Structure 1
Amino acid sequence: MTDDSMADGPGTADTPSGETPAAGKAGTGGHPAGEPAPAELRQRALDALTTARARTAVLTDCVDDRDLTAQHSPLMSPLVWDLAHIGNQEEQWLLRTVGGRPALRPEIDSVYDAFEHPRAARPALPLLPPAEARLYAHEVRGRVLDILDRAAFEGGGPLTDSAFAFGMIAQHEQQHDETMLITHQLRKGPAALTAPAPPADGAGEKLPPEVLVPGGAFTMGTSAEPWALDNERPAHRREVPAFRLDTVPVTCGAYLAFIEDGGYRDPRWWAGEGFEQIRRHEIGAPLFWRQEGGQWLRRRFGVTEPVPLDEPVLHVSWYEADAYARWAGRRLPTEAEWEKAARHDPATGRSRRFPWGDGDPTPGRANLGQRHLRPAPAGSYREGASPLGIRQLIGDVWEWTASDFLPYPGFAAFPYREYSEVFFGSDHKVLRGGSFGVDEVACRGTFRNWDLPVRRQIFAGFRTARDAAPGEGGG
């Protein structure tokens, strides 16, 4: 997803049979069916906003002002732009629109309008310096908490029902936090962030290389998730023929076999403009990899280390993922196939909120929230497996799919077109599942990410699929 967009709100379609009804925290995990009490909604919104702001502080307090104001890549904004943009969006939506308060800093709205200024041009703008940007975001937050304390969460319209606008802003900040984490990965110089290695529970188990996903219809998308964004809505039935899907994401070791077999030199495997892209830019491996003395190394948040063969491959474009799949005699899964594998429970016919069920993500179920600064070894997180035994569908790496980013039947833009609608079409490919850099408030089984097929700086990997044999798995 481009960070140049803003999170949107709920649709209005009825919930088809088979979707979990409004289960879980608003946007983050499991509460019983029925609308939570206002006090519970207020606390959830407060927790989500507080968690996001604490992470923003970690990402911006760990470097000096020079690093905050520098543009570390033309693909990314200066960190200080993201910091003030977070505050400006919060001011516009929660102070002005929800709270009806007068504008605090209307003169900077244009500066922090992501659609008005492409990332490469943002360093030349009259940006707030770091101290002023921090103060501005702090002042906005103080006023927002006062509005939150007094807000009514039903009968006020779709922005305030279920505390949606507060959840929208928490998701927006967390999306920018992931963007700032990507900037840290692109940043040259010594490491500024540290985190423990992820657990490897289950990684040593003998797993089947692929799993059969039976054919048939399932409920895709949502009409019940309180903080779901417009492109996730509405829930609808989707027919998916039987297919086979990798049990775990493609690993660095498996991808290395593609490299060593000349995959980057053979045009047979590359679709569309992919081969021209790698030739023009002299690409021969995932971003941040290099070969030295016969060994493959990678740079990860300022640290150079051997490429870990058992981790899911990271920092590959859609073109690279598609080429590997073709080389392996397979293909990328469609978005509908991915979601069916991640949500559908064949035993009940229900679509779960997550592969493991309707409960919250936990550290034992998924690698989320920047707890770790790398994917876990393939096969980890057995507690997070789907009913069919597929692992790591949530967290670790965003997974490229074969699908273009298109609206669901009955889509309605809310609260404005620029979050999703302007990106629909064949230019952008859909990614699913979230990465280690995604917070749980912005990650669920229905969440849709999208980006250009050339993008490599994002925390993206993939898994592959193939059609089931005739008569296998129904459908």
Structure 2
Amino acid sequence: MLNADTTDPAVLRELIAAELEAARTRTAGLTDCVEDGELTAQHSPLMSPLVWDLAHIGNQEELWLLRNVGGRDPMHPEIDPLYDAFEHPRAERPSLPLLPPDQARAYAHEVRGRVFDLLAASPLEGAPLLDAGFAFGMIVQHEQQHDETMLITHQLRTGPAVLTAPPPPPAPDGPLPAEVLIPAGPFTMGTDTEPWALDNERPAHRVDLPAYWLDTTPVSNAAYQEFIADGGYRDPRWWTAEGWAHRQRAGLEAPLFWSREGGQWLRRRFGTVEPVPGDEPVLHVSWYEADAYARWAGRRLPTEAEWEKAARHDPVADRSRRYPWGDESPGPEHANLGQRHLRPAPVGGYPAGRSPYGVRQLIGDVWEWTASDFTGYPGFRVWPYKEYSEVFFGPEYKVLRGGSFAVAPVACRGTFRNWDYPVRRQIFSGFRTARDAEAG
């Protein structure tokens, strides 16, 4: 994976080519496993048909790499409005004259072939979009982000399972402390040096935080079941006014995809119904649910800055790492990423991926809701287009950090920021809780 020391153009081209291939292999795996009828169907009004994502991936690749970087003429300008994510809401996309699956695949394949020709000739320097291969990295991340979106669609679809993956490794034996103390003091949040970091991750800036306690691991299914059993969904004391109103409107009683049968909680996971594993991080909960649980537990959700300090700050060297474990790219021993497994690993897993403070599973497994609204950092500058981040800034969106088992390593780092509406549950979202140190 790319880092700040990757400067040799030949090495950079090889790395970009490998990342492009990895993303396309994953895209193919998510779209070739179902019949054309399932590709064109809308499995939820919250999501696009899979065939829209497939052609959108190709269209964005053509727009940014062939047109903006390569100066090429549009291949099919008439389809641009169909695949503009801001032109048509997801619920409307099935009614559009979308490319059928065979044409969508052919279009994406033709674009990719021309991109490889462009990559071979590109100096990968001399212009902002070219420096360190930024535009290529942006497109790789874009495709992998849509692969995660398509995996969400697979979770929402009904019918038999079509995806398989081995289970994640078990957590090591031995108890862990329930929480760790993060001492007061400043740290560097964000980045100025990550070559493929997106605009909302920049610039680096110092943040001074009071001391706080943070859960060592994400909240587990077993712990969340205690909240349910104690009437957490029926007691407005634990909910914000907006959250309680939403809980009532939506009839929320448990995480999405959970059901109660014969005194046991079951869940549907990619077409398979199974008992809810108590030792896994809770998944498919909204921000409102996470916030209510935290209040019930006498705690709160961590702020985004608290999450990042716990994940990146090295108190000995007083520096911020790329990842909790250091600066090296994620390996299978560090985190559950890249759809290697189709579920979170048990809480306490991946000891090699722990942060200097001893916090585990900050990267991978589940996206973690934070208390923070999505805004730009001090000195934020739009790059390379305002629709990536700036149009979403404001209190309507809450920040999630850390990635999930569905996130590719190339699109996940200690500075990466995700955001969504506080009602969203179809995403691979969980959480951990915090408390002020002075609270005792």
TM-score, structure 1 as length reference: 0.92
What aligned pairs does 1:253-292 form with structure 2 within 5 A after superposition? 253-292=222-261
By how many angstroms is 1:34 displaced?
4.1
Deviations 1:200-243 (A, max 9, x none): 142x3210000000110000000000000000000000011100
Q: Could you tell me which amino acid in structure 2 is paired with residue 133 of structure 1?
A: A
Residue in 2 that maps onto 1:4: none
Tell me the secondary structure at the aligned position of residue 412 of structure 1: coil
Whether 2:33 is the aligned partner of 1:55: answer no
Residue in 2 that maps onto 1:159: 129
What aligned pairs does 1:3-402 form with structure 2 within 5 A after superposition? 25-26=1-2, 34-155=5-126, 157-202=127-172, 204-402=173-371
Deviations 1:1-41 (A, max 9, x none): xxxxxxxxxxxxxxxxxxxxxxxx42xxxx5x645110111
By how many angstroms is 1:281 displaced?
1.4
Deviations 1:440-460 (A, max 9, x none): 010000000000000000000
By how many angstroms is 1:44 displaced?
1.2
Tell whether the 8 Å contact from 2:220 to 2:278 is kept in structure 1 after alignment.
Answer: yes
Task: Return the alpha-carbon distance in structure 1 between the equivalents of residues 325 and 273 of structure 2.
Answer: 35
Tell whether the 8 Å contact from 1:405 to 1:423 is kept in structure 2 after alignment.
Answer: yes
Tell whether the 8 Å contact from 1:394 to 1:434 is kept in structure 2 after alignment.
Answer: yes
Tell whether the 8 Å contact from 2:367 to 2:430 is kept in structure 1 after alignment.
Answer: yes
Percent identity of paired positions between Structure 1 and Structure 2: 72
Tell whether the 8 Å contact from 1:205 to 1:379 is kept in structure 2 after alignment.
Answer: no
Residue in 2 that maps onto 1:7: none
Q: Could you tell me which amino acid in structure 1 is paired with residue 152 of structure 2?
A: I
Deviations 1:54-89 (A, max 9, x none): 000000000000000000000000000000000000
**Structure 1: unaligned runs, 5 residues or longer:** 1-24
Q: Could you tell me which amino acid in structure 2 is paired with residue 328 of structure 1?
A: A
Q: Could you tell me which amino acid in structure 2 is paired with residue 372 of structure 1?
A: H
Task: Return the alpha-carbon distance in structure 1 between the equivalents of residues 242 and 425 of structure 2.
Answer: 15
Q: Which runs of 4+ in 1 moved over 2 A?
A: none
Tell me the secondary structure at the aligned position of residue 92 of structure 1: helix
Task: Return the alpha-carbon distance in structure 2 between the equivalents of residues 305 and 34 of structure 1.
Answer: 45
Greater share of helix residues, 1 or 2?
A: 2
Task: Return the alpha-carbon distance in structure 2 between the equivalents of residues 201 and 249 of structure 1.
Answer: 13
What aligned pairs does 1:429-448 form with structure 2 within 5 A after superposition? 429-448=398-417
Q: Could you tell me which amino acid in structure 1 is paired with residue 116 of structure 2?
A: L
Tell me the secondary structure at the aligned position of residue 81 of structure 2: coil
Task: Return the alpha-carbon distance in structure 2 between the equivalents of residues 436 and 425 of structure 1.
Answer: 27
By how many angstroms is 1:469 displaced?
2.4
Task: Return the alpha-carbon distance in structure 1 between the equivalents of residues 240 and 409 of structure 2.
Answer: 33
Tell whether the 8 Å contact from 2:171 to 2:347 is kept in structure 1 after alignment.
Answer: no
Q: Could you tell me which amino acid in structure 2 is paired with residue 462 of structure 1?
A: F
Deviations 1:404-428 (A, max 9, x none): 0010000000111100000000000
What aligned pairs does 1:403-418 form with structure 2 within 5 A after superposition? 403-418=372-387
Deviations 1:268-305 (A, max 9, x none): 00013111111111110000000001110000000000
Tell whether the 8 Å contact from 1:234 to 1:411 is kept in structure 2 after alignment.
Answer: yes
Tell me the secondary structure at the aligned position of residue 187 of structure 2: strand
Q: Could you tell me which amino acid in structure 1 is paired with residue 182 of structure 2?
A: V
Q: Could you tell me which amino acid in structure 1 is paired with residue 49 of structure 2?
A: P
Larger RCO (alpha carbons 8 Å, 6+ apart): 1
Task: Return the alpha-carbon distance in structure 2 between the equivalents of residues 159 and 51 of structure 1.
Answer: 22
Residue in 1 that maps onto 2:420: 451
Task: Return the alpha-carbon distance in structure 1 between the equivalents of residues 395 and 357 of structure 2.
Answer: 31
Residue in 2 that maps onto 1:425: 394
RMSD between aligned residues: 0.9
Task: Return the alpha-carbon distance in structure 1 between the equivalents of residues 322 and 385 of structure 2.
Answer: 26
